[in-house]
Amino acid sequence: MGDRDDARHQRRGIRRTGERDEMNVLFIHQNFPGQFVHLAAHLAKEKRNKVVALTVHDNPPIKGVAVREYTMLRPSAPETHPMLRDQEASMLHAEACAAAALQLKREGFTPDVIVAHPGWGEALFLKDVFPHAKLVLYCEYYYAAEGQDVGFDPEVPPLTFAQRCRLRMKNSTNLLSMEIADAAISPTEWQKSTYPAWAQEKITVIHDGIDLEKLKFNPKARITLAANGSKPSFTFKPGDEVLSYVARNLEPVRGFQVFMRTLPEVLRRRPDAHAIVVGGDGVSYGHQAPGGVSWKEHLLAEVGDQLDMNRVHFVGKVPYQSYLDLLSISRVHAYWTTPFVLSWSFLEAALSGLPVMASDTAPVREFSDLLSINTAGFFEKDAFAEHLSEELRRPAKRACVIQAEALSLSNCLQHQLRLLRM
C-alpha cells in the first residue's frame, strides 16, 4: 500500500497493524444480525477489531460483537397522515438509533465504518453523529408501482391511487439514506437494478455469502414428525420420496398459491410421495389473505379436499439444522418467487446439489444457468407438476456441493472487507 493509501486510512482513523487494518465497525439492523451475520462474525474474530451492533430485537449473540438494544421513544401516532405512516415509523427508528449512537460516542466508541440496512430509517442520522465514519448501506430492494412484484399476480387487485402514492413515499427513506451513503452493497445484480441510476453508481454487487461447508450431504439426516390427531408419526431419511418447499412465511410473493394448486397433481402422480412445507403463517411481504385467515388456511380451503393430508406436512418455522437436514432428505425442491428479493433458501438448496425447480422470474434467472436450475413460468403449474413428479420418480441422487466461487462465503467476505477498507 502506497503513501496515499496510508494517508487515506489515517484520515478515516483505520489503524495499521502489520499488513492488516484494525477497525471499529458499527452494524445497524433492527433485527441484527440479519444479512450481516457472516460479516459481523468474521470481523469480530479479529481481536484487533471492535465490533458493535445497534438493534431492536434480542437475537442470539455473535461472539465478539457488543450488541446494544434501542427502543423507540413512542409508538407511531394513529392520527398521522396515512401516506406518511411509514415515514413516521422511519423517523422514530432514526431518532432512537441516533440517540443510542450518541450514547456510544459519549462512552468513547467512534466507528471507522458503519454498515447499515436503511429499510427502517435507522441510518438517516448516523452521519450527523459520526460525520467522519464511512457509511455503507445494504441495498436490498427499491419499490416500484409496476414492473416488479406489484402488478405481477393478476389475482391481486391493482393498487388504488392512494396505495400507489404510499408506495412511492415508501422509497423516501431509501433515497435519503442513499444520498448520505459513501458506498452500498446489493446481493444480486437484479436487486441493484431496482434502484435509480444515480444510486446504482454507489452500489457494488456482493452477495452475503453461502457457507458451502454446511451444505454437504448428510446421509444420517432424519426428520421425525410426531403423530397429530388422526395423523400418524413419520420419520424421513435420505432416499425417501420427499418434495420440499421453504419460505419465511407461506404467501403469494413466494408463490405459495401456485405450489398448493400444483400439489394435488404431484401427489396424484406419485402416491408414495410426501411434501414437507417450511414457513410461518404470517405475511412478510405483500397482502393478507381474504377473510382474515392465513394463506395456508385460505389455500387449504381451496384445494385441501384434493389432498391426502397424511402426506402434506406443514412444519412451521424450523431451526437451521432441521432445515439443513431437509435439504439432505428432500428429493426435489420447489421454489417460486415473484420479481422480488431472492431467498437464501433457493441458493442453498441449489448449491447443496439438491435438484431444484424454480420460477422463471428475473431474480432466479440471474443464477439459473450458473446453478443448472430447471425453470418454468411462475403460473405454469402443469409444467411444475410434470417436472416435480419426474424428479420424485427418479432414484434419489445428490450432486456434490456446487463450488460457485462468486457465492462462496470466503469470496464474498473478501470482497465485502475490501469495500469496507477502501
Task: Tell me how far apart the alpha carbons of residues 334 and 346 are, in angstroms, rounded to a whole number.
Answer: 9
Q: Give the C-alpha separation, 254 to 337, whole Å.
A: 4
Question: What pLDDT score does 188 carry?
Answer: 97
- β-partners of residue 274 are 242
The answer to whether the CB of 116 falls within 8 A of the CB of 22 is no
Which residues, other chains included, contact 376 with Cβ-Cβ below 8 Å and sequence gap of 6+? 357, 359, 360, 383, 384, 387
What does the block give as the cell for 394?
427418479
Closest CA to 422 of 208, 123, 111, 183: 183
Q: Is the pLDDT of residue 9 over 70?
A: no
Can you give the residue ranges of every domain in the chain? Answer: 3-208+408-421, 212-403
Give the pLDDT score at 7.
38
- What is residue 4's predicted lDDT score, i.e. its pLDDT? 40
Query: Could you give the percent of the chain with pLDDT greater than 70?
Result: 95
What does each C-alpha distance from 263 to 33, 253, 385 come to in angstroms?
Answer: 35, 18, 7
The count of C-alpha atoms lying within 13 angstroms of the C-alpha of 227, restricted to the half-sphere facing its C-beta, is 3
> Amino acid identity, residue 223?
I
Q: Are 188 and 205 in contact (CB under 8 A)?
A: yes
| 212-403: CATH architecture | 3-Layer(aba) Sandwich (3.40)
Closest alpha carbon to 215 in 405, 345, 314, 341: 345
Long-range contacts of 399-403 (CB under 8 A, 24+ apart): 399/353, 400/353, 401/212, 401/215, 401/216, 401/217, 401/351, 401/352, 401/353, 402/350, 402/351, 402/353, 402/371, 403/212
What number does CATH give the domain 3-208+408-421? 3.40.50.2000
Q: How far is CA 301 from the centre of its chain?
A: 29
Domains 3-208+408-421 and 212-403 share a fold: yes
Going by their DSSP bridges, the two strands 374-376 and 356-359 should be labelled as: parallel
CA distance 214 to 342: 20
The yes-or-no verdict on residue 300 having pLDDT over 50 is yes
Q: For the segment 227-268, what is each residue's pLDDT rounded down to a tens digit?
A: 877 788 999 999 999 999 999 999 999 999 999 999 999 999
Least confident of 185-189, 202-206, 226-230, 405-409: 226-230
pLDDT at 396 over 90: no
Q: Is the pLDDT of residue 181 over 70?
A: yes
Rounded distance between C-alpha atoms, residue 232 and residue 244, angstroms: 19
Categorize the per-residue pLDDT at 76 as very low, low, confident or very high, splitting at 50, 70 and 90: confident
* HEC letters along the chain: CCHHHHHHHHHHCCEEECCEEECEEEEECCCCCHHHHHHHHHHHHCCCCEEEEEECCCCCCCCCEEEEECCCCCCCCCCCCHHHHHHHHHHHHHHHHHHHHHHHHHCCCCCCEEEECHHHCCCCCHHHHCCCCEEEEECCCCCCCCCCCCCCCCCCCCCCHHHHHHHHHHCHHHHHHHHHCCEEEECCHHHHHCCCHHHHCCEEECCCCECHHHHCCCCCCCEEECCECCECCEEECCCCCEEEEEEEECCHHHCHHHHHHHHHHHHHHCCCCEEEEEEECCCCCCCCCHHHCCHHHHHHHHHHHHCCHHHEEEEECCCHHHHHHHHHHCCEEEECCCCCCCCHHHHHHHHCCCCEEEECCHHHHHHHCCCCCEEECCCCHHHHHHHHHHHHHCCCCCCCCCCCHHHEHHHHHHHHHHHHHC
Residue 16 pLDDT greater than 70, yes or no: no
Taking only Cα atoms into account, the Rg of the chain, rounded to an integer number of angstroms, comes to 23
pLDDT digits (tens, 9 = 90+) for 301-318: 999 999 999 999 999 999
pLDDT digits (tens, 9 = 90+) for 44-63: 999 999 999 999 998 999 99
pLDDT band at residue 14 using 50, 70 and 90 as cut-offs:
low
* Cβ count within 10 A of residue 58: 9
Instruction: Give the tens place of pLDDT for each residue, 94-123.
Output: 999 999 999 999 999 999 999 999 999 999
Q: Which pTM was predicted? A: 0.90
